Amino acid sequence: MRLLVVEDEARLAAALQRGLQAEGFVVDVAPTGPAGLEAARHGDYDAMILDVMLPGLSGYEVVRQLRAERRWLPVLMLSAKDGEYDQADGLDCGADDYLTKPFSYVVLLARLRALLRRGAPERPAVLAVGDLRLDPARRRVTRDGAEVALTGREYALLDYLMRRPDTVVSKVELLDHVWDASVETAPNAVEVYVGYLRRKLGRDRLETVRGAGYRLVT
């Protein structure tokens, strides 16, 4: 397995390289954003560990450019910026995971192994299903070019369904992934929000599969 570490702190980069090599990985290090972007473009890597604050080009911009070029190399982002919006920005730019500094090396290895198990499926920056477009970075939804105003919950439900087009998704799965498990949710919450989306997107867009769940029609 070949890894690319993009980190400008020389001591941390060297420590990561030594530790990952001890785990059996082949590790290359790039010290700047532009160097990391070029290495990711031309090297045959299985995953990348990417710092956010880099000379020349931020980690956000590196991953954004890679995704715009349809390069789906799994990216684990590292940053001392631990705010929830910082983490959301990293994930919305196209990173697969986000770990704040200082971090546990054991946790980093576990998350890296999880990324490698998942591989590099296509993850477009803007989701498209039929005439629907959902831009996670801007939290913007359009239908046939016209913007559709959605509440936070409506947006989360549509996002989940658009990542599984023409697939039947059960009510239980939607409750698990779209609603907060720590908060009591009304039994008919899924039906209610599916109804809201139908009114905004068209009744034919969301199909009810009796006894199974819902399907977003392409």
Shared domain for 10 and 91, answered yes or no, is yes
Shared domain for 18 and 66, answered yes or no, is yes
Of 84, 119, 154, the last residue of a domain is: 119
Retrieve residue 79's tokens. Answer: 């940053």
Range of the domain at 110: 2-119
The CATH number covering residue 51 comes to 3.40.50.2300
CA–CA gap between residue 154 and residue 157 (Å, rounded): 5
Shared domain for 35 and 135, answered yes or no, is no
Q: How many domains does the chain have?
A: 2
Write down the pLDDT at residue 38.
Answer: 96
As a whole number, the mean pLDDT across the chain is 88
Shared domain for 115 and 134, answered yes or no, is no
The CATH number covering residue 182 comes to 1.10.10.10
What confidence tier does 82 reach under pLDDT thresholds 50, 70, 90? low
Shared domain for 61 and 106, answered yes or no, is yes
Residue-wise pLDDT for 107-161, tens only, equals 999 989 888 887 766 666 688 899 999 987 677 899 999 999 998 889 889 988 9
Shared domain for 146 and 114, answered yes or no, is no
Q: Does residue 42 contact residue 19 with C-beta atoms inside 8 Å?
A: no
Shared domain for 99 and 201, answered yes or no, is no
Q: Does residue 72 contact residue 100 with C-beta atoms inside 8 Å?
A: no
Task: Check pLDDT > 70 for residue 77.
Answer: yes
Q: Which among 85, 86, 28, 83 has a CA at the least distance from the CA of 58?
A: 86
Shared domain for 64 and 162, answered yes or no, is no
CA–CA gap between residue 29 and residue 183 (Å, rounded): 43
Global pTM?
A: 0.60
Write down the pLDDT at residue 148.
Answer: 95
Shared domain for 16 and 105, answered yes or no, is yes
CA atoms within 13 A on the CB side of 200: 19
Shared domain for 47 and 70, answered yes or no, is yes
Of 90, 119, 148, the last residue of a domain is: 119
CA–CA gap between residue 34 and residue 81 (Å, rounded): 21
Determine how many CB atoms are found less than 10 A away from the CB of residue 196: 14
Shared domain for 110 and 135, answered yes or no, is no
Residue-wise pLDDT for 167-187, tens only, equals 999 998 888 888 765 567 787
Write down the pLDDT at residue 53.
Answer: 92
Of 119, 153, 172, the last residue of a domain is: 119
Residue 169 DSSP one-character state: B
Q: Is 190 exposed, middle or buried (0-12, 13-18, 19+ CB in 10 A)?
A: buried
pLDDT top residue among 40 and 163:
40
CA–CA gap between residue 110 and residue 11 (Å, rounded): 22
Shared domain for 209 and 140, answered yes or no, is yes
